[in-house]
C-alpha cells in the first residue's frame, strides 16, 4: 500500500459509512434505533447524518417536508409533486439527510422505500437523491445510498434484497450496474431477446409490481405504460418533469451507457426501471477484491 497517496474522497466516505453501518447492523438496542429516529451521527470528516424510518409524528413530518422541499427547490428550481414533499406517505420510507459539519441546514438527502412482493420477497426502491449544487461532485451520494440500503436490510431481517432504480441517467445507470448484481436491463444484455427476458423473469416481476403499486410515490404518471423494463410516458401528465430533465443531463464517461439510455428511452417522457440484487456479503467481498487502497 502506498501510504503517501490518500484514497479517493468517495472511497474514504464509503469505507467510513461502512464502518458506521457495521456497528449498527450487527447490534440491537439503542444503537440501531438511533439510526431510525433522527439522532444526529458523524457520517464523514465533513458531514453528519440524520436518518428517519417510517416517521409517524406530525412534527417530524413537518420538519422533513420543509427541508426536503427546500433542497429540491434549491437544486431543481421547483418542488417535485411527491407525497414526501408534503410530509405524507412516510410509513414505508427510509430518509437520510446529510448536514455539513457545524450546520443545522441539510445539504443532501436520499429517500428509499421498502416493500415486499406478493410472495414475501423483500425489495427496496433506491429512491430519490438530491444533492444541493455546492455539495455535488464530492462523492457523498453513493455512500449515502449505501448506508440507507445497508440498514434497511437489518430492518427487513434480510441479507439479500431486490433493488429497483428508476430514471434516464446514464451515469446513474452505470453506478447501479457497478453496485448491484444480476442487473436487468443493462447495456451488456439485449433487452429485446426473448430468451434473456425469460432468464430475468424475477426482475420483470419486480418491475411490474413496482409500477402497479408505487406510481404516486415514485412520481410516475398514472397514464404511463410499462413496456418490458421501460415505463413509457412516465414523465407525462403528473410525472416528475424537472427531475427527469435533470437526470437526463447526467451523462456517463462510458459512451456505451449514453447510447444505451438513448436507445432504451427514445422519448423524453420515458424512463427505464432497473432491477438488481444486493447481497451484503457479496458486496463486501467484491469491494475488497478491487484493492481500493
DSSP string, 30-56: HHHHTTTBT--EE-SSSEEEEEEES--
Confidence of residue 190 (pLDDT cuts 50, 70, 90): confident
CA gap 54, 143 in Å, rounded: 21
**Average pLDDT score over residue span 189-205:** 89
In Å, how far from its chain's centre is CA 176? 9
At 168, give phi and psi (nearest 5°).
-140, 35
pLDDT tops 50 at residue 247: yes
Q: What pLDDT shows up at residue 231?
A: 95
Mean pLDDT in residue range 219-246: 77
Coil, strand or helix at 69: helix
- For 262-282, write each residue's pLDDT tens digit: 999 988 889 999 999 998 777
Given a cut of 70, is residue 159 above it in pLDDT? yes
**Domains located in the chain, CATH noted:** 7-158 (3.40.630.30), 159-285 (no CATH)
Cell of 75: 437544486
Between 151 and 29, the more confident residue is: 151
Predicted pLDDT of residue 282: 76
pLDDT over 60 at 19, yes or no? no
Convert 253-275 to b/e letters by CB count within 10 Å (16 or more is b). eeeebbebbeebbeeebbbbbbb
Q: How far is CA 254 from CA 106, 122, 172, in A?
A: 32, 32, 12
pTM of the prediction? 0.82
User: What pLDDT is recorded for position 16?
Assistant: 55
pLDDT of residue 212: 95
Alpha helices in 225-290 (DSSP H): 241-248, 255-264, 280-289
Report d(CA 154, CA 28) in Å as an integer: 10
Other beta carbons within 10 angstroms of residue 4's beta carbon come to 5
pLDDT value for 84: 94
Is residue 111's pLDDT more than 90? yes
In the chain, what percentage of residues exceed pLDDT 70? 80
Mean pLDDT, rounded, for 12-16:
54
How many angstroms separate the CA atoms of 138 and 217, rounded? 28
Of residues 191 and 3, more confidence is placed in 191
Answer whether 257's CB lies under 8 Å from 170's CB.
yes
Kindly tell me if the per-residue pLDDT of 9 is higher than 90: no
- Across the range 52-77, mean pLDDT stands at 95
Burial class from Cβ neighbours inside 10 Å (0-12, 13-18, 19+) for residue 201 reads: exposed
Q: Does residue 164 contact residue 35 with C-beta atoms inside 8 Å?
A: no
Amino acid at each position: 500500500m502506498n501510504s503517501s497517496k490518500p484514497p479517493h474522497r468517495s472511497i474514504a466516505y464509503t469505507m467510513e459509512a461502512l464502518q458506521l453501518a457495521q456497528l449498527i447492523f450487527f447490534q440491537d438496542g439503542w444503537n440501531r434505533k438511533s439510526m431510525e429516529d433522527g439522532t444526529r451521527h458523524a457520517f464523514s470528516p465533513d458531514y453528519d447524518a440524520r436518518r428517519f424510518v417510517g416517521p409517524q409524528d406530525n412534527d417530524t413530518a413537518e420538519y422533513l417536508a420543509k427541508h426536503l422541499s427546500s433542497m429540491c427547490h434549491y437544486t431543481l428550481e421547483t418542488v417535485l409533486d411527491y407525497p414526501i414533499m408534503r410530509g405524507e406517505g412516510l410509513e414505508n420510507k427510509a430518509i437520510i439527510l446529510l448536514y455539513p459539519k457545524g450546520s443545522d441546514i441539510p445539504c443532501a438527502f436520499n429517500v428509499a422505500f421498502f416493500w415486499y412482493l406478493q410472495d414475501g420477497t423483500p425489495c427496496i426502491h433506491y429512491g430519490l437523491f438530491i444533492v444541493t449544487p455546492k455539495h455535488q461532485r464530492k462523492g457523498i451520494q453513493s455512500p449515502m445510498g449505501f448506508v440507507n440500503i445497508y440498514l434497511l436490510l437489518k430492518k427487513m431481517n434480510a441479507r439479500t434484497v431486490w433493488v429497483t432504480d428508476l430514471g434516464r441517467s446514464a451515469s446513474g445507470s452505470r453506478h447501479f450496474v457497478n453496485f448491484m448484481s444480476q442487473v436487468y436491463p443493462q447495456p451488456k444484455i439485449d433487452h429485446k431477446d426473448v430468451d434473456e427476458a425469460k432468464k430475468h423473469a424475477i426482475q420483470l416481476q419486480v418491475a411490474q409490481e413496482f409500477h402497479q403499486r408505487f406510481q404516486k410515490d415514485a412520481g410516475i404518471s398514472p397514464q404511463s405504460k410499462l413496456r418490458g423494463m421501460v415505463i413509457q410516458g412516465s414523465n407525462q401528465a403528473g410525472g416528475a418533469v424537472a427531475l427527469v430533465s435533470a437526470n437526463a443531463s447526467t451523462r456517463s464517461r462510458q459512451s456505451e451507457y449514453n447510447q444505451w439510455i438513448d436507445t432504451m428511452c427514445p422519448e423524453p417522457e420515458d424512463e427505464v426501471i432497473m432491477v438488481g440484487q444486493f447481497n451484503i456479503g457479496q458486496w463486501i467481498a467484491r469491494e475488497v477484491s478491487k484493492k481500493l487502497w
